[in-house]
Amino acid sequence: VVSDKSRDAAAVLVSKFITRPDVRQKRTADFLDWTLSTLSKSSFQTIEGTIVMDGMLQALAQFFKHGKREDCLPYASTVLECLDNCKLFESNQTILRKLGVKLVQRLGLTFLKPKVAKWRYQRGFRSLAANLQFSSGGLIPQKTENISIDTGEEEEEEYDIPGEIENVIEQLLIGLKDKDTIVRWSAAKGVGRLTGRLPKELADDVVGSVLDCFSFQETDNAWHGGCLALAELGRRGLLLPSRLSDVVPVILKGLTYDEKRGACSVGSNVRDSACYVCWAFARAYDPLELKPFVNQIASALIIAAIFDRDVNCRRAASAAFQENVGRQGTFPHGIDIVTTADYFAVGNRANCFLNISVYVAGFPEYTQSMIDHLINMKINHWDSVIREFSAEALHNLTPLAPEYITREVLPKLLPLAVGIDLHTRHGAILACAEITHALSLLAEEKKRFISFYLDEKTLEGLKQIHLELRHRQLYRGLGGELMRPAVCTLIEKLSLSKMPFRKDPIIDDWQWLINDCLQSLHLISSNSRQQIKESAVSALAALCNEYYCNGEGGANPAEQDLLVQYISGLQSHEEMIRCGFSLALGALPKFLLKGKLQEVLDALKKATLISGGVSFAESRRDGLKAVARVCLTVGV
């Protein structure tokens, strides 16, 4: 008993030998008796049993592959019965389950006559001249539904389907839901091969059973196996155009399938296989058949190519989009998009979210669907990087549809920004910040006030975000480590947007949050500390520039107290507090430093010295950064 490649070679050799005409009659029965007996006595519970079963299954699969149907048919029922008794689907060995599926489909092909289904859908013409004339534009495309292999032949004669076929197809459908990809892939190919030999009505039942894999009660494994099976059926012309109205909505869901599981999510394999289905459909169907679904498929594919988290899914979607553009020729602005969102361009995620998305959204057919996808699927994503990229992408897309953003998107985001789900709340706050800033830049460009785009209700909703979070104490704990930088970003963007909040009580509330972030840095985990510190300092700079300057170019007395507070914080016993207040002093605008420059520089200088045997390297570093920024601010 061996477990290396010599076993695989032996399986091929013995199958070739047993199927020879001069050996078949004398040795086939003995060989199968020995194989089935060995298979029945072996157990997949032991390593030796697994090795033996692997060899037996390979030999049987090769025998039913290379042997003639009439020679193999007498033994097929016996082999299937033995295989059922082995209960391979209960095994933890992936290779045994895969070989079991492979053997089952070989048995199914043995039970069925090797006829090409007359009912299958076939794109194009049998005549080479007609195809050439069609491709050169000489003919108007005609709908080619269910072109048979030979239209002159009569319908295929009815024949009885063996009862074992039901068992075979059931096992293949179970294989589509297996936990391992190679088993699902083998089952999908088996479903495609067997369906091609079934009558039309039974084949349609198989398609219906495959579509049952696509319910949200099923696991991601079932969705993946179902997509592979649909691609195989479509590629072989076994998925008739009448079924497209059932299949396309399922595939569109598959292109965005993403289920959270623990700290991450599953579904990248489902999205990848859904792209394969779209690729297969592009090659299988006439453009007129897919015409009712063109805009939906095009939007879904380009969204996956740009906004998917995984690079392999983005590349698969880009390849499927390119195949559809080439084969179908009906995708809106297909050539222009393919040259920009090609296989290599979509490899960089930042480039996809921030640059390619803007180019594609410039075509009106895709603008709204891209914005909707970001709002519905990406700002609540489990990965914080995706949420941040999505907010920045919305900033870039806002000038392309400002009316839609203000009328539909912002009213939807504001409740989410104070909602119960942490990830959704974080993404919605960032999106509100970026969209508002984009609208202000657009208003400035058109020489209008921000109130042209944002009504009183929206402005009040933006103010309420911080107040609501503070009231519900959502700045505490691990969730607070996401909320603090998000709201600081919101403060920064609203200040840069020149919101009409001067002398509004909300300014003091925002200042409280910035100060609290700087004073609490030592209580925050090291992973989030740097981001919170940078966000708070950026928010402080924008807030001071917009709301703390009086009409005479100076600062109000109340704001002057900030300097005193920050200078005193430089002598704190906590290193992180020193870091925060040092950078805060460096971020203050020139009018706040007026008359206090020497005092600020002396305090920062003192903070850069080693005193009392305490090094505080990070605070001394930030102190030097602050000195440099202060000098730049005042023009020294």
* N-term to C-term CA, the chain: 84
**Confidence check: pLDDT of 128 > 80:** no
pLDDT value, residue 150: 43
Q: Is residue 39 pLDDT above 50, yes or no?
A: yes
Q: Identify the pLDDT of residue 553.
A: 65
CA gap 454, 501 in Å, rounded: 13
Quick count: other Cβ atoms within 10 Å of Cβ 621? 13
Predicted confidence (pLDDT) per residue in 537-560, tens digit: 999 999 999 988 876 667 776 677
Q: For residue 9, what is the enclosing H or E element?
A: helix 5-18
Residue 153 confidence (pLDDT) = 42
Q: Report if residue 614 sits inside a domain.
A: yes
- CB-based burial of residue 582 (10 Å sphere; 0-12 exposed, 13-18 middle, 19+ buried)? buried
The chain-wide mean pLDDT, for the chain, equals 89
- What's the rounded mean pLDDT across residues 81-94? 91
E strand or H helix at 533, and its extent? helix 526-547
Instruction: Give the residues across from 555 on adjacent strands.
Output: 549
Closest CA relative to residue 529, chosen from 566, 568, 537, 543: 537
* pLDDT tens-digit series, residues 193-209: 999 999 999 999 999 99
- DSSP-derived secondary structure letter, 157: P
Domain hosting 597: range is: 549-635
| pLDDT score of 9 | 93
**Mean pLDDT, residues 570-588 taken together:** 91
Does residue 327 lie in a domain region? no
Please check the confidence at residue 80 and state whether its pLDDT lies above 80: yes
- How large is the average pLDDT for residues 130-135? 55
- Tell whether the model's pLDDT for residue 125 goes beyond 80: no
How many domains does the chain contain in total? 1
Residue 290, pLDDT above cutoff 80? yes
Residue 389: CB atoms within 10 Å: 23
Domain presence at residue 292: no
- Please state, as a whole number, how many other Cβ atoms lie within 10 Å of the Cβ of residue 456: 8
Residues 6+ apart with CB under 8 A from 90: none
> What tokens does 432 get?
């509100």
262 occurs within a structural domain: no
CA distance 219 to 177: 8
Mean pLDDT on 176-192:
96
Across 156-170, 218-232, 370-384, 464-478, least confident range: 156-170
587 in a structural domain:
yes
Residues whose CB is less than 8 angstroms from the CB of residue 521 and which lie 6 or more positions away in sequence, other chains included: 529, 532, 533, 574, 576, 577, 579, 580
Is 293 contained in some domain?
no
Q: How far apart are CA 345 and CA 153, in angstroms?
A: 50
